[in-house]
Every structure is written in structure tokens, then in C-alpha cells.
């Protein structure tokens, strides 16, 4: 049975850099995170040109993981 967990920015950034976000989905089903984590990992990351931020954003959109931020906050790039 998959668990829903809450994450800070660190694991999301590491799994994005390793291109292994699918492992989080396989292990936990869904990962929740506050908007501040989304802002740190995706919004600011994309502005700074970090490839892992784009990878994470694409994964979130594809898997409908809006986190605690809400789907309307995700960047549709």
C-alpha cells in the first residue's frame, strides 16, 4: 500500500537531479509539499536555469502532484 508523505525541498531536488522521481511515486504513491517548497525547487530553479527544476515541474504536471500548493500554482511550461 502506497503512503502519502510530506517533503521538504531536499529530496525533491536530489531525486530530480538523479532523474529518479519515479522512485518516489513507486514508494509513496504521492508526495505532498507546501507552496514554499514548490517555489524553492521549481519557480526559483527555473529562473536560475537549473535543469532539475524543469524536470521536477514536468513530473509534477504529468503525475498531477500539485502538493499542498494546489494545481493552479504549477507552471505550465
Report residue 60 as a C-alpha cell: 509534477
- Average pLDDT per block of 10 residues along the chain, 77 residues long: 80 95 90 89 95 94 74 51
Domain count, the chain: 1
Q: What predicted TM-score, i.e. pTM, was given to this entire model?
A: 0.80
> In this predicted structure, what is the pLDDT of residue 18?
96
> In this predicted structure, what is the pLDDT of residue 6?
86
> In this predicted structure, what is the pLDDT of residue 51?
95
Range of the domain at 55: 9-73
Rounded to whole angstroms, the Cα distance separating 67 from 50 reads 21
DSSP 20-66: -HHHHHHHHSEEE--HHHHIIIIIHHHHTT-HHHHHHHHHHHHTT--
Residue with cell 500500500: 1
Amino acid at each position: 500500500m502506497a503512503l502519502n508523505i510530506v517533503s521538504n525541498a531536499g529530496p525533491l531536488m536530489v531525486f530530480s537531479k538523479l532523474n529518479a522521481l519515479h522512485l518516489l511515486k513507486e514508494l509513496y504513491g504521492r508526495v505532498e509539499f507546501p507552496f514554499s517548497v514548490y517555489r524553492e525547487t521549481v519557480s526559483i530553479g527555473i529562473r536560475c536555469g537549473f535543469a532539475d527544476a524543469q524536470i521536477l515541474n514536468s513530473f509534477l504536471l504529468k503525475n498531477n502532484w500539485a502538493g499542498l500548493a494546489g494545481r493552479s500554482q504549477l507552471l505550465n511550461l
